[in-house]
Amino acid sequence: MSARHLIAPLSFAALLIAQVSVAVAADRDQQCVHWTSAFVFTEFMDRAKVNGDKGQRLYFHKPHPILCASTTDCRRKGYVISGDEVTIGNVCQQWAFVEFRVGRSATTGWVELNRLANQAPDSKTLSTRRKWSSEISRAEPLVAAAFAGDIVQVQRLISADHPARTKALFAAAHANREDVVDLLLKSGVSPNDDSEACSLLATASVDSNRGILQKLLKAGADVNCRVARGQWTPLMWVAFQNRAMTSVLVAIGRVTNPHPDHLAAVQFLIDAGANIDAKDSWGSTALRRAFGSNNVDIATLLLSRGADANNYIDDSTSISVQSGNTTLMEAIFWYSLRLDHSMIAVLLAHGANANYRNELRYDEECDKTTSGKCTFQGQTALTRAAADGHLNVVRLLLENKADPSLPRTDGKTPAQIARANGHFQTAALIERYARNSMAPASTPLGQ
């Protein structure tokens, strides 16, 4: 499975860099380097041509180059040459995430921004953008006015029995139109009028500023409500939200300024009484949902406010075997996609148990021949990292008291597993710790 990063158009590079500068000004870790998700909205993306001398290569870096200083897994992966065209990605400092596609094959990674020259959008892209703009303009007049922030038109159209009143409130919250939200609430529109009422608060948590959230909660919205599909809470939605996606939505006008601050939204929802350790239909919490978009800062905040670093999913649910019973295991599962071990370090710093073992029988055939079905079956965090040859994760686990002698359920030790998979440097590191370590034996969660 390859890492995928949601991307933002190069033509908006100045806007995105400005947003990033504001977002991380007080954060030395430069949170934008962690933003990640799938390539979507490609119809809104711009293309760029690679500059340079004829035949000059431009190499892809899988993780953001800033992360290279702290990982042995930082490596170049593929390249393009001068004249090639790429789809432009999330701009973070002087780097951009791009995709180069030949037929059905695609290579993705970070490249130097100064090697890219913007290209005019093709006819298909222009057509899609015009279609989206046309759909907005053809919306029910009250909804369109609320989305556009036309408060005069909203005042003229609103009535006590208008059938689109709730949709207008959704549109205003989605577009971050605080004055329109205020007007609609004061005119009697309830945030709980619709059967999907929780979707309104979840949308506002992701797309709106703090003022809108305050107004919705004051008007009676339930901070611990559940969206019907998956039983996610608003806190889960904002913890999962990809910031690069929001940058795209801002750039194409789907979200308007002021740009929503998702870290602040998490803080606000917790302060308003959100249940930090609430579980969805799959047993996942807001903390686990933060892993999906690698929101390291949000995970750190959740943990500092009391989120359970050892949240456990029962073996009977399929997700627990694939992604790991514990939060630490799931963080390692996501590491293999993006090679950023920051989330693992945060969990260990907040008490995650490095010596928990999934006690299901290890199934070698299933592990070797299926994609993710048996990822952590019979494994510890260390045996899984050793099998995958993730040297820096292995080192991090050993430094945090992972037992180098604790075997997989088939009896094989982490060093044996690493060596059998050809990861000899990883095996040597584990063996060195095994000779010198005073690590504890397997322990229950939380101890």
Question: Is 206 a residue whose pLDDT tops 70?
Answer: yes
More confident residue, 441 or 62: 62
Q: Is residue 431 included in any domain, yes or no?
A: yes
Question: Is 256 a residue whose pLDDT tops 70?
Answer: no
Backbone angles phi and psi of 352, in degrees to 5: -60, 135
Instruction: Give the tens place of pLDDT for each residue, 275-319.
Output: 999 999 888 999 999 988 889 999 999 999 999 999 888 766 667
Question: Is 247 a residue whose pLDDT tops 70?
Answer: no
The CATH number given to whatever domain includes residue 16 is: 2.30.30.40
Mean pLDDT of 13-39: 44
Question: Is 447 a residue whose pLDDT tops 80?
Answer: no
Q: How far apart are the C-alpha atoms of 242 and 31, rounded to whole Å?
A: 12
Question: Is 433 a residue whose pLDDT tops 50?
Answer: yes
Question: Is 7 a residue whose pLDDT tops 60?
Answer: no
The CATH number given to whatever domain includes residue 316 is: 1.25.40.20
The pair of three-digit structure tokens given for residue 82, joined into one six-digit string:
């001068």
At residue 108, the pLDDT reads 81
* Residue range of the domain that includes 418: 308-447
Q: 85: pLDDT confidence band, cut at 50, 70 and 90?
A: confident
Spatial contact of 243 and 6, defined as CB atoms under 8 Å apart: no
At residue 355, the pLDDT reads 96
More confident residue, 108 or 127: 108
Closest by CA to 253, choosing from 124, 143, 149, is 149
Q: Is residue 374 included in any domain, yes or no?
A: yes
Mean pLDDT of 41-53: 72
More confident residue, 67 or 330: 330
DSSP structure string for 398-426 = HHTT--TT---TTS--HHHHHHHTT-HHH
Task: Name the domain boundary from 97, 120, 143.
Answer: 120
Q: Is residue 113 included in any domain, yes or no?
A: yes
Question: Is 197 a residue whose pLDDT tops 90?
Answer: no
Q: How far apart are the C-alpha atoms of 414 and 380, rounded to whole Å?
A: 9
Percent of the chain with pLDDT over 90: 34
Mean pLDDT of 167-192: 88
Q: Is residue 282 included in any domain, yes or no?
A: no
Task: Name the domain boundary from 120, 153, 171.
Answer: 120
Q: 128: pLDDT confidence band, cut at 50, 70 and 90?
A: low
Q: Is residue 259 included in any domain, yes or no?
A: no
Burial class (CB in 10 A: 0-12, 13-18, 19+), 434: middle
Q: Is residue 180 included in any domain, yes or no?
A: no
Q: How far apart are the C-alpha atoms of 59 and 112, rounded to whole Å?
A: 9
Specify the pairing of strand 95-102 against strand 91-92. antiparallel
Percent of the chain with pLDDT over 70: 75
Helix (H) or strand (E) holding 85: strand 85-87
More confident residue, 264 or 420: 420
In angstroms, how far is CA 317 from the centroid of its own chain?
22
Task: Name the domain boundary from 53, 88, 120.
Answer: 120
Q: Which of 6-10, 217-221, 368-372, 377-381 has the lowest mean pLDDT?
A: 6-10
DSSP structure string for 194-226 = STTHHHHHHHHHHHS-HHHHHHHHHTT--TT--
At residue 388, the pLDDT reads 93
Mean pLDDT of 150-174: 86
Instruction: Output the average pLDDT for the chain.
Output: 79
Question: Is 19 a residue whose pLDDT tops 80?
Answer: no
- For the chain, what is the radius of gyration of the CA atoms? 24
Question: Is 354 a residue whose pLDDT tops 70?
Answer: yes
Q: How many CB atoms lie within 10 A of CB 223?
A: 20
Q: Is residue 53 included in any domain, yes or no?
A: yes
Q: 413: pLDDT confidence band, cut at 50, 70 and 90?
A: very high
Q: 267: pLDDT confidence band, cut at 50, 70 and 90?
A: very high
Spatial contact of 390 and 429, defined as CB atoms under 8 Å apart: no
Question: Is 96 a residue whose pLDDT tops 50?
Answer: yes
Question: Is 375 a residue whose pLDDT tops 50?
Answer: yes
The pair of three-digit structure tokens given for residue 38, joined into one six-digit string:
């799938």
Question: Is 135 a residue whose pLDDT tops 70?
Answer: no
Question: Is 70 a residue whose pLDDT tops 70?
Answer: no
Q: Is residue 266 included in any domain, yes or no?
A: no
Q: 73: pLDDT confidence band, cut at 50, 70 and 90?
A: low
Number of domains making up the chain? 2
Length of the chain: 447
